[in-house]
Amino acid sequence: MSFRMRFFLIIFVVLILAACTAKEKPTLKIGMTMGYPPFSSEIDGAYVGMSVDLAHKIAEKLEQPYEIIPMEFDNLIPGIVSGKIDFAISSISITEERSRQIEFSQGYFMVDQAVIAKKDSPIVINNSNEIGDYKIGVTSGTTAHQWIQDNLLTKNLLPVDRLFIYPSISEAFADLIKGEIDLAINDAVIVQGYEEKLPITTKYLIETDESYGIAMHIDGKQNQKIKAALQDLLDSGEMKSIIQTHIK
């Protein structure tokens, strides 16, 4: 075989290997709910926030291209189970109930639940039982929704007709400001982002000690790699840097 033929054969093999490598690294589809500052928002057509930065870092460590798939919060877990998305990074608290359907990474951010009212509301909450005296708004499928179910509805502290369920927290806040509901409950750190731009205020803090995790398919092929990538970010201080960039 001549030198020229060997040269072109080597080039051909390299191209074939490169093509195979590209096929082995498909675009990651990462589910995320927008409208949750400082974690995930859409501003001027771009996705921004802590969850967005984390998604970028995870994909970078996996050495794969990625696409953020915006979804309603209540559709994230069904999207993982059905295979519509590969995993979700969207302020999803790790719970036993959710872990029956999906697998979680280790936790990367702690959070409690905030009870919110209009800024000029005279409502005073002294204990969690008093929350049931009011009309409450909550996002469907959230841990706030589950807390209300476990601590108010099942104990007959809240009539069912006083619970208003929304597809997004921004819609709940809109009704809160209009006076359609008296209170809303949501992750405290997310509420802080809204308090900066809306006439709302936290009236009471429910200490739930929740932890956000990356939600993945049970026994997913890349679960261990995703967990390892997140652990690298936690150990190196990169995760702390991401948090400090968005949460002051």
Q: What is the pLDDT of residues 162-185, one digit of tens each?
A: 999 999 999 999 999 999 999 999
List, in order of start, the domains of the chain with CATH numbers: 3-108+213-246 (3.40.190.10), 111-210 (3.40.190.10)
Mean pLDDT of 226-241: 98
Q: What is the mean pLDDT of the chain?
A: 92
Res 6: pLDDT: 54
Length of the chain as a residue count: 248
Question: Which amino acid is residue 158, in one-letter code?
Answer: L
- Nearest CA to 136 out of 100, 168, 183 is that of 183
Does residue 3 have a pLDDT over 90? no
Q: Are 217 and 83 in contact (CB under 8 A)?
A: yes
Mean pLDDT of 115-133: 97
Q: Which residues contact 150 (CB under 8 A, 6 or more apart)?
A: none
Q: How confident is the model at residue 17 (pLDDT cuts 50, 70, 90)?
A: low
Res 66: pLDDT: 98
Res 39: pLDDT: 96
Res 25: pLDDT: 81
Res 22: pLDDT: 47
State what percent of residues in the chain have pLDDT above 90.
88
Predicted confidence (pLDDT) per residue in 29-61, tens digit: 999 999 999 999 999 999 999 999 999 999 999
CA distance linking residue 108 with residue 210, whole number of Å: 10
Using alpha carbons only, give the angle 41, 42, 44 rounded to the nearest 5 degrees: 145
Straight-line distance from the first to the last Cα atom of the chain, in angstroms, rounded to the nearest whole number: 67
Does residue 236 have a pLDDT over 60? yes
Does residue 140 have a pLDDT over 50? yes
Does residue 117 have a pLDDT over 60? yes
Task: Kindly tell me the burial class for residue 5, based on how many C-beta atoms sit within 10 Å of its own C-beta (0-12, 13-18, 19 or more).
Answer: exposed
- Nearest CA to 133 out of 105, 172, 167, 163 is that of 163
